Amino acid sequence: MKKRPIDHTLRSAMLFLAMATTCVAADARLTPLVQAVKRAKSSVVNIHSKKTAFNSESPFASGKGRQVSGMGTGIVIDKRGYIVTNFHVVDKVDSLRVTLENGSTYSAQVVSYDRRKDLALIKIQPAEALSIMPIGTSSDLMLGETVIAVGNAFGYEHTVTSGIVSSLSRDVEVNKSQSYENLIQTDASINPGNSGGPLLNLKGEVVGINVAIRAGAQRIGFAIPIDDARKVIAKLISIEQIDNNYHGLRSQDVKTAKKRQLKVETTMPNSPAATAGFQAGDIIVRAGSVDVIDGADFERALLGRKAGEEVAVVVRRNDNKTTIRLTLSGRSGRNIAAAPTEMVVRANNENEPVNVAQQAWQALGIRVSQLVEIEPALAGSRYRGGMRVTQVRRGGPADTNGIQAGDILLGLHLWYTIRNEDISYVLTHPDLATFSPLKFYILRDRETMWGLIQPDPANKN
């Protein structure tokens, strides 16, 4: 029997069907979860740390101990190398190393942190602009919604796990010194090393920052809602904190399922923002080259600019867009943003009161005197100066934490203590609550020691 040739139309149809079947099979693998990870993975970094562990029970360490390694995860929030992670990932570290998704590695420095909220900002100097993590909102998270965790789990870099939102608004006490409020609970596997990494939705947007696991339990992990975290990040990356510049704008993040915007609440009297003409109710749309959805965006848009520089800020006012020219102002005093492992000297401020020695006695339980210009104890050291402790109040914070008369107080938190005004600056700092207990540095018998001290402002003895 003679076979009839296949019609050309039929042959084309069969070929198209085969190709379509192949494409469908390929597309079936490219699930929303896969696409979400692809979108976000380049903005996730792995963090490795070295710190010194001390065996002594002394309230402060003498510099002797053993080196231990740590690990965590970070999220890129600015293309210049600013990365957010958990504070406990960088607490008391001697060095930090960050590995990007492409395998490149950089040293990192701690810029700022909020101990109570367990968030920290670190900085690297990348060879090229980094990819910024897509920002979502935690305001509309749903129970049972699929979420994805990406992180440095047990040191296995860029590990991806998935699960669901198990619960919302969890308050969790991890230990006596650390508790959290309003956490997201998830059954996505979160392990040691995931801390500081993103919890993503199926759009590849970060909706939480992974922070803790339930010891002894399986698939119970927790994350800080991104809307809460971004408010803290705005303070950590603020130009007052890092550049020592000032704009005087007070604003509010507005985050809902349908709306993400930054609303102006007020301006400080005689501030650059007041002079520029911002009004309550203005919605900030853009600052410089940065599209703004919240305070963190606004601060990073102004970051790195010099005092006196003008920035074009687009706002929406009464359904109309207008451009406001904001000229930044400098502030006295210098923060340690670039190198928090070394204290910096604050500039003199003639407006500060000079009779502030009593604050050190009331809050810390010490009396101090300024060192002479040539101090033998500082000869050959890297320190810029300090204050001699002349008296310690029995039972006060300093006494409890091991400070003795004769010690040289080198610094508190991020600043040198060379003058009484430096101590006052720290004790009256508006963000004191976020970095207390204070880390202090003293010199005793040419040996540098450090410890933690909780100020007692209410003590009037």
pLDDT at 22 over 90: no
Under the banding of pLDDT at 50, 70 and 90, the label for residue 281 is very high
Cα 247 to the center of its chain, rounded Å: 21
Under the banding of pLDDT at 50, 70 and 90, the label for residue 458 is low
Arithmetic mean of pLDDT over the chain: 84
Average of per-residue pLDDT across 82-88: 95
pLDDT at 279 over 70: yes
Average of per-residue pLDDT across 222-248: 91
- Answer yes or no: is 8 within a domain: no
- 115 lies in the same domain as 49: yes
- 203 lies in the same domain as 258: no
Give the Cα separation of 208 and 197 in Å (integer): 8
Under the banding of pLDDT at 50, 70 and 90, the label for residue 461 is very low
pLDDT at 447 over 90: no
Burial of 364 (0-12, 13-18, 19+ CB in 10 A): buried
pLDDT at 38 over 90: yes
- Cβ contacts of 415 within 8 Å, gap of 6 or more: 336, 343, 344, 345, 346, 422, 425, 426
- Answer yes or no: is 275 within a domain: yes
**More confident call, 375 vs 406:** 406
**More confident call, 235 vs 241:** 235
pLDDT for position 401: 83
**What pLDDT, in 10s, does the model give residues 236-252?**
999 987 887 889 899 99
243 catalytically annotated? no
pLDDT for position 18: 63
Average of per-residue pLDDT across 12-40: 76
The sign of the CA dihedral 47, 48, 52, 58 is positive
195 catalytically annotated? yes
Under the banding of pLDDT at 50, 70 and 90, the label for residue 333 is very low
**More confident call, 197 vs 450:** 197
Task: Report the CATH number at residue 302.
Answer: 2.30.42.10
Give the Cα separation of 296 and 281 in Å (integer): 18
Record the tokens describing residue 413, joined without a space. Answer: 């938190």
Task: Provide the domain limits for residue 439.
Answer: 357-453
- 52 lies in the same domain as 114: yes
**More confident call, 298 vs 336:** 298
Among 43, 48, 78, 88, the one annotated catalytic: 88
Which range of 23-37, 364-378, 384-398 scores highest in mean pLDDT? It is 384-398
Amino acid at 44: V
Give the Cα separation of 285 and 262 in Å (integer): 8
- Answer yes or no: is 133 within a domain: no
- Among 63-77, 101-115, 282-296, which is the least confidently predicted range? 63-77
Among 118, 227, 228, 253, the one annotated catalytic: 118
Among 162, 195, 238, 436, the one annotated catalytic: 195
Which percentage of the chain shows pLDDT scores above 70? 81
- 326 lies in the same domain as 371: no
**What pLDDT, in 10s, does the model give residues 404-444?**
988 899 888 888 888 888 888 888 888 788 777 888 888 88
- Answer yes or no: is 7 within a domain: no
Which range of 197-201, 217-221, 237-241 scores highest in mean pLDDT? It is 197-201
The sign of the CA dihedral 398, 386, 95, 339 is positive
- Answer yes or no: is 2 within a domain: no
Last residue of a domain, one of 123, 154, 172: 123
pLDDT for position 460: 45
- Answer yes or no: is 129 within a domain: no
Look at residue 434 and give its three-state secondary structure. Answer: helix
Which percentage of the chain shows pLDDT scores above 90? 48
- Answer yes or no: is 345 within a domain: no
